[in-house]
Structure 1
């Protein structure tokens, strides 16, 4: 049985992952800001899920959460850095600086702060798995992706550099990078609560689901301990790569 810490566990990918790990007999520390949702999840899944309030952008919150874990819920065997968000689709010259700052604080600073707190213990024990939730946006730029894509590129490169530092330590690190994924709050948050606009993102498609991502993360974490999946990129079959954009000037 593994102790699994999942951030952003109150909805979407995080909730689906919590359900998947508990179903397989593991204990899940479900961390998020929305305590009411975590308590509802615990009521559904039972004592194998421990709800903890956490704001990954707040170092004091991270420290207090880890210090408050019951002894039987430590050490953490699997850390899933799932908390993250996109805000806005405007081109860089029109984007809100506050949106950029929030994405950096959550997707980058929060992820590295929690990783930094748990990694020494994993190395000391000679085992552990870190799964970072990246995005295809970390590899493939698109209009309006600007800082969101940059934060996910950081996640990918940080994960690869963890692998470089952890060779021989028995600790694994994986970047799971989904493409178009529906059934979560992602697009509604990105579009600042515009539910109609968020729904249009998925019109006429069969996107990935939160359960698809949960299955992928569970597979990564449950492989034999000598196997490290460095990068796992997923897309629905309705999504693919497009051509480079080209602006042609009229002759004369």
Structure 2
């Protein structure tokens, strides 16, 4: 029987100042390499919303069963996970795997099947266990655009994810306009990654932006507005969505 959120709240979603402070202090493990965008890179984003009180159980399955297999998979470029801090949409965790193109993802999936079988398990069994703890999950695939990216957003305490849905026929103009914003970000020391969706529910572009505090993100939004970049982008964007997340160091590989 599913327990109600009021009788058994998920401690990872409580809005206490102590938990918010803890989220801001989460940083990736020092042994993890920088995750700067590379040519041809494709990222798979799996967004999970878990049953009340079950996020911790899902994290245990990930860290104890899935991560050792990912660590042995040389065909996967990297793994990151981002936990919800502030979000207008219901989500708990986004798991991001990176590959050398879609063919690289095919190789990685084949490698994972082989590695898991050698260890007496399977990825389907592991993800079935995780899915049993979830209310919902969805997959999105994005091809990174290194020319519209700079640095590693996941190296910061917070990562803002911003989804864009451009007006029909305006994708090229969006990217040309965004190039000016990226130039300003690069000069300002803002780490940002941009991707073009391959598979999504209507979104066209995704951006990862790294910050060390909520205040720094607010300052960024005010400053980029002063440059006029956001005004120009708004002329070609039909819809925009953003969430604030924190990296989960236990779910970081390479």
Q: Same fold (TM over 0.5)?
A: no
Instruction: Report which of the two has the higher share of strand.
Output: 2
Instruction: Report which of the two has the higher share of helix.
Output: 1
Instruction: Identify which of structures 1 and 2 has the higher relative contact order when contacts are C-alpha pairs closer than 8 Å and 6+ apart.
Output: 2
